[in-house]
Structure 1
């Protein structure tokens, strides 16, 4: 995949070096265009090092704005008020705007990463909205300290990959991933917290990593993603429409409220199986000998098909120190009782797998097949799971 990274005269140009390196780690070929003002912030040699290619600073007889216009993505990061406003009126008085206008003629996806003072950002809002209405994409900045700041590289990568996928689908509707693009997917992730008193409670070790990787992959493949997020150890990208909850009761309530509107539901959240019968409204004394009574929490997975019979339901089943055959039987039991279309089962006792880890070892179980996936990254597992859903759909 070929990405043209356009660097303009914002102080956030210093972030573009790391961004270019990140894209290369992901396997992208990166070519850089840098503006005259951008060269006042960083030296072109730094971008040549980051991309491994000569940097375009001016147009020559190679007509670079034409040569590179038909790439997989044009990424303007950072994008200044000047570059955005000129492009909104199709003014081509510099190499970058000439590239953008030419790329627009090729229907090449263009992604802007605005970075400037918030007063400037607010002032050009009309130009930004104009470009959005014409189909151009923006990565929302971090609004902090009176500035529209450069977002995380993860957020930019996510939006870039999605833009490339949607453009590929636009050009070739027969792509394999077309079964998922446009589908609405709801994902629960993280753990729940059941309060004992105002400062104490019970929870679990779920980090939300698996659910987030599934959400990212679904988003990249062109799906409409909504998250119900419990207690997590990961940062949730701004691109996702997310609801943040704490207890199992609230997570289950929100799930039931939303589930009718979705094509796919993936229940990765580690919902507490038990909650205290009574919550104490004041802090319990630490000098007490304390005994607590618990009640089972609602099993929401068993209600999903009753509310939305047509939804594709994916359940996650975490067990501890259990043989594969027993884990498969428990997964098959969930399929029978809840109507689950696919169960992702795993033993969280396996070293370097499960809760909090970047890796996992899972068994995929449905009515037709049992597939064991050896230890690999949760990112890879998310691709395997979505490919399985794609095949079933």
Structure 2
């Protein structure tokens, strides 16, 4: 019997009992994982495993594995403390409480060049929480640390201010002008918490304000906002050609004479960017139509693909210039396997030069 004074109800113990015979040889052991609590048969849930952290600009993101031990986890709690080599439990504060459907959390309140340590616990449907630093003075080895730092490409805008609009129903956002190469600002909003942000709008780089219309119509609702820069990553390839290539859309024709001293620009074929959707859609539909199982007996292919799916096609209209490379214009799309059958007949045309048959070579080939 082990006295209760040697156990603490705030900890989970692994108890191993191994029998030994009179000669000191050990037998099969018995292992039990037990949580000694004030109430019998109540065990604390395990802390989430494989906790990972990723750094960002004024933010740190946590990710952990969803519970797989069949525990009835209802919430996750995230604790944070300033990083310290000799970390103490009293340094931790509860940062957020998340539903069990989430296994990630982004701390948008982190400051650049400041190091933080995070700790995540689980809370079951009975309200019982894993051992934690606030209530139990416990720090797990699953704690992770990181330091956010400023982005080298897109710095975050500063001076974000949120205020009620003149009509008391809108939220007006404004921020300071910012340097850098980018295309605009994204506005994100989270309702009721500081972790479930969604993009609600975008503005051009020249604008420094945004109005969230009718956001204040819901009484006593808390809103959280983030404004960040974005840049459209598009690669532009410039090519010049005197002839319009296939599958391209002409937006103009430039003609030069005598170098650059005489230039004329023909804009008659120009398609407004707003109307590019139609010709692009036509090109896409034409490419897709090739693979449709439709009746095209009166069209370009002349094939009723509802019946013949090109599973067995015999091609005989081969052409050649050197009797070594043969080509055909027949449509063989849709086939999975191809079989090439070469006849055993010798073609006299291959041995005919200037309309004179090389009989000796022809007979030798036949032999």
* Structure number having the greater helix percentage: 1
TM-score range, shorter chain: under 0.3
By relative contact order (CA 8 Å, sep 6+), the higher-ranking structure is 1
Tell me the TM-score normalized by structure 2: 0.21
